[in-house]
Amino acid sequence: MENKPTSVWTSNRFWRRSATWITGVAAVLLILLTFDSMGQMQMGTAEDIQNKVTKRIPSPVVINYKIDYVLDPYRGHEVPIIGGKTVDSATGKVSSKFEEKEKFFGRDDWSEEEARALIHKGKLTIQAKNCMDCHTLLGNGAYYAPDLTKAWLDPAWSSEGPLQAMTGANSKEEAMATFLQNPDKYPTHERMMPNLGITPEEAKAVVAYLKFMSAIDTNGFPRNFGKIKGAVDARK
Amino acid sequence: MFEPCTDIVCSFWSMLNQGPMTLTIILHTLIVLPMIWIYFDEKKKLQSGE
């Protein structure tokens, strides 16, 4: 067989085969990654927390636990820590202990059903009041007001923070709920939040949702939240 | 050299994801290597006059 001078680059069949291959592989990859994402998004259960299994989206019963935001040098970003942290001395990897509880509106024994119902009501309120018209939640929404993904961990709402002091409440959840019911009364920012007619029950549910959302592992998103002074490793 | 898993929920993809670029590089290799084979296969066919 003699070697005829040929150009593969001008051959239609070469491009057709390449295009078929790339499209096929990409389609299969997208399907596999979709199933992977579905696994990642699976909400954890109360048993997971009892068995100290970390899930990206924890069970609603996390509202019974203390939530911290800690830099994980192993993963290279901040991670939410539920109920106290343990540090692996070899890798520096931090993980949740699921032990230390924290009262949420006076209780730390919210059952899975109660917590789920409360968070569901919070979600419906957030949708009904169109929070996303101004705020972002988990990256979705508008850029007029602060991102709420880690709002629960904002040091401004802690016992030493100015926002809790402003409302005169004794706990973070009560301060947030008080603010949400009458946001127009408190001078927070030039862009003041309007009064949306949120009832005390709705405010409680929204705060539960915010606490739950702060415990979702978002791979360190939003990136600039960790730069707020006192937001990360609040308890040294 | 190989980390067992860098993700919170471990899967085949999180094992490939050893660093920010690795998953991308592995997936592109998967696509490009057979294209090199397709190139030489087509060249062979063209030269033999198919």
Q: Provide the residue ranges of all domains of chain A, joining segments of one domain with +.
A: 8-40, 46-235
pLDDT at B48: 86
Chain A residues touching B30 at Cβ < 8 A:
25
Nearest to B42 among A1, A8, A29 (CB): A8
Chain-chain contact of A11 with B13 (C-beta, under 8 angstroms): no
- In the block, tokens 């415990």 appear at A215
pLDDT at A97: 94
Chain-chain contact of B49 with A40 (C-beta, under 8 angstroms): no
pLDDT at A85: 92
pLDDT at A236: 65
Chain A residues touching B48 at Cβ < 8 A:
1
Overall CATH class of domain A46-235: mainly alpha
| DSSP string for A120-134 | HHHHHHHHHTTGGGT
* pTM tops 0.80: yes
Question: Angle, nearest 10°, between helix axes A12-40 and B22-47?
Answer: 160
Query: ipTM, 2 decimals?
Result: 0.78
- Considering only alpha carbons, which residue of chain A is nearest residue B11? A36
Three-state DSSP class for residue A70: strand
Chain-chain contact of B46 with A8 (C-beta, under 8 angstroms): yes
- Considering only alpha carbons, which residue of chain A is nearest residue B46? A6
Task: Spell out the alpha helix ranges (H) of chain A.
Answer: 12-40, 46-50, 112-128, 162-167, 172-181, 200-214
Token couple for B32: 């490009």
**pLDDT above 90 as % of chain B:** 28
Q: Is the pLDDT of residue B1 over 70?
A: no
pLDDT at A1: 52
- A89-124 core/surface letters (b: 16 or more CB in 10 A; e: else): eeeeebbbebebeeebeeeeebeeeebbebbebbbe
Q: Is the pLDDT of residue B14 over 80?
A: no
Size of interface A-B (CB pairs under 8 A): 53
For A68, list phi and psi in degrees, rounded to 5.
-120, 165
- Which ranges of chain A have pLDDT less than 50? none
Token couple for A184: 């127009």
Nearest to A75 among B6, B11, B39 (CB): B6
Q: How far apart are CA A157 and CA A136, in angstroms?
A: 18
Q: How far is CA A115 from the centre of its chain?
A: 17
pLDDT at A187: 83
* Average pLDDT, integer, range B1-26: 75
